[in-house]
Structure 1
């Protein structure tokens, strides 16, 4: 066990702000970008940076709850949280019951700490208990954050700005990493890649071009995170929220996502464009269509001008980009793609062999989100998640409509959080087995609190200014 260099930053800051829950939330949300780092190592595991301020936040707000502190509109908040809490209870119960019900009847891929490089017969394992701990931590953080954000001193706008700023930092560190890979500029690998629980894939190449993973363990994880940032900032710009910082992050996150050369990022980006056009057409919004046309025109001119400039002054870059696209298109023939596809196929086999109930949370590890959920929490858990998501989304839409769709801090948070979560889920559906990061649940809590706040505000929401 040991404190890392990243821990020497996050632990002191967490203790410094132990009685300032707003700052702890900002620190936890910002710490989510350092996915490949740890603040404390425990054997083969690493505690991610978000955990340090989250523990302090839970201790402080939890103590207030135990002492009888009251939170505004707590009943409405808990009503929106309830479906997700029910699914959490099913997940925890299933992790105890299902591995025993189907013991030695199903082959599963174990968690990384239990991994032996091959499938094993299903049996209760420490993977069930460690993953249960993550579920409990995430749900407790989600509920307490949702309650705290109803207080007058809680600043939802500030949290959203921290999320956008975090995306900018990811992009800047990605540029730093590219400089290190191409020109051998010193880069703090030990500081950023200190989590022993991850296999850090920071030397990958696509043809002659280095793949960028910035503060994440692999390019696909970086692309998934940036997809959320890009979805949120693009929508904010189209809807007229934010200011020049938000617009700058749109450009930075798009360029960095392209630099990851991740198929996950490219597919999620294409899916986002399709969904955006579909929404504009379905809603028949002239204002949105005009802004979308202007946005696309600017993007085409920017990338077209950049391509023409590179073709004249740096033709090698154009040839490298062609190699990247060729490599991306050929990934279906790669060994890693076949291994991931096989794990997803094995997960679906486990799902069918358990009659749709699943093997229990933490029993099986897949390559992408939906097969992973189906093989562990089963059809009941997945259906419950869809129901919980739909209930929260419907409540958010009703709140915005009730406010007259005017701009407000709460409306901006709702729309940006929905887009950020959608982007993260889209990337995870393609190539990530879980949604277990604390910053993800802080975003969900922001959505819950903003929804309740906006509904309570009725038709008199506060105005939103530019972010600088």
Structure 2
């Protein structure tokens, strides 16, 4: 076991935050998941990310120094989404231990984690793999994160701290994206040597259509684009609702540009859907005495801009050819690439594992896929998928708070952020774990600060 330089930095920041109070601690915790390619601690071939390492400091702050354990437990057990998430975690952990042993050698899998003896196409007979343990740890960390954020955001001050923390996460993601874009040949390249120290395979020097791909602080472009889509959904909604509009507006626009510049097929294909979600949000958020200028401007300007863009493509052959070539390289030709064929074979294998396990799944962390939906079905089967969908319905999709209030607008922003992140995972997600930042947003979305009235049609 060894601690890396980024781990020392995480440790120092954690100790300072504990001394400063709960606010700085939760804001720092919301930022650290951006270091998705870093390892704060190395235990053999397994790396512990700074976000998971900093979770210890959030626990100490919330349950001991600056919080009340009974309050955290009370808020958690009063929450429906917490119960469904507990059931998902329990089923996932049990399935991850028993399924690969009970169904051993009954089918072949594309394993998650380092496994010896794989065939030419990367498959091995079903059996326990290292991913069973690591994914169980990640899912338990997700549950702890959701519980703590739910309790912290149950106070008005804590609610604002988490809101600011998510904005800071978006700013950090944009910073690393821009830094990666301009880093070749500059001292910034040395910065990434410290935050790309995990055991993952990094795709930092790949190019598409003569453009170097952006991966930011993540292992690959698809990971960077997927997280940036969550930033687009969250910051774009805050800007539409007129909340923290100067910061959120800038982060929204820059994140959109970075997604396109990353040349990630999933990001480029998913971004229009994210923008469509934001446009629908603008339709419902405009009008009335509490409507915002941003939402009204988007409702009017977006159709006009779309028509003008189509006219430019029709009238200018050079622009049309430039746009078409870019879309062709990043999306249209992608299904015939070697990586797409490989990822397609992962999904085909995962679907086969789902049926071979009679719909129960072959165990959490057993199978590698290229779609979050296939990962759910193949790893935790129908029961785990139902638990997640119920968690999503009760924790993310149901509105909370007084409509068009600050709490309701932030809840709408986190809802859109979660949906955009899931959209990216549906395109290229390889595991059941959606990451800490998803559960930070889900915890904030599920929280109702004390003293805030809830609509009568919803449970308090």
Scaled by the length of structure 1, the TM-score of the pair is 0.84
Match of 2:361 in 1: 358
Q: 1:60 to 1:226 in 2, by over 3 A?
A: same
Deviations 1:16-46 (A, max 9, x none): 2235333222112101111111212222222
Quick check: 1:5–1:191 contact (8 Å CA) kept in 2?
A: yes
Partner Cα separation in structure 1 for residue 282 and residue 166 of structure 2: 26
Deviations 1:46-93 (A, max 9, x none): 211112221122244345799864359626643441111112111122
Please give the secondary structure, in 1, of the residue aligned with 2:42.
strand
Secondary structure of the corresponding residue to residue 114 of structure 1: coil
Separation (CA, whole Å) in 2 of partners of 1:270 and 1:185: 35
**2:162 counterpart residue number:** 159
Which residue is 1:453 aligned to? 449
- 1:29 to 1:413, Cα distance in 2 relative to 1, 3 A: same
Residues 87, 10 of structure 1: alpha-carbon distance in 2 compared, 3 angstrom cutoff: same
Select between 17-26 and 34-43 the one with higher mean Cα deviation: 17-26
Q: Where in structure 2 are the equivalents of 1:122-271 lying within 5 Å?
A: 122-151=126-155, 154-181=157-184, 186-187=188-189, 188-196=191-199, 198-271=200-273
Residue 453 of structure 1: SS of its match in structure 2?
coil
Instruction: Report the CA distance between 1:255 and its aligned residue.
Output: 0.8
Cα offset for 1:354?
A: 0.9
SS of equivalent residue, structure 1 residue 46:
strand
1:362 Cα shift?
Answer: 1.4
Deviations 1:338-358 (A, max 9, x none): 000110010000001111111
Between the aligned partners of 1:421 and 1:17, the Cα distance in structure 2 is 27
Contact 2:396–2:446 at 8 Å: present in 1 too?
no
TM normalised by structure 2 equals 0.85
Q: CA deviation at 1:300?
A: 6.6
1:24-423, aligned counterparts within 5 Å?
24-63=25-64, 69-71=70-72, 74=75, 77-114=78-115, 116-117=117-118, 118-151=122-155, 154-181=157-184, 186-187=188-189, 188-196=191-199, 198-277=200-279, 290-294=296-300, 296=302, 323-328=325-330, 329-393=332-396, 396-397=398-399, 399-400=400-401, 403=402, 405-408=403-406, 410-423=407-420
- Summarize the Cα distance change of 1:279–1:164 in structure 2 as closer, same or farther, 3 Å threshold: closer
Q: What RMSD, in angstroms, separates the aligned Cα atoms of the two structures?
A: 3.2
How many aligned positions are there? 439
> For 1:184 and 1:66, how far apart are their aligned partners in 2?
44
In structure 2, relative to structure 1, the CA distance for the partners of 1:18 and 1:298 (3 Å cut) is: farther
Quickly say closer, same or farther: Cα 1:357–1:230, change in 2 above 3 A. Answer: same
| Structure 1 gaps, min length 5 | 461-468
CA distance in 2, matches of 1:459, 1:353: 45
Partner SS state of residue 265, structure 1: helix
Shift in alpha-carbon separation, 1:77–1:407, aligned structure 2, 3 A: same
CA deviation after TM superposition for structure 1 residue 200, in Å = 0.6
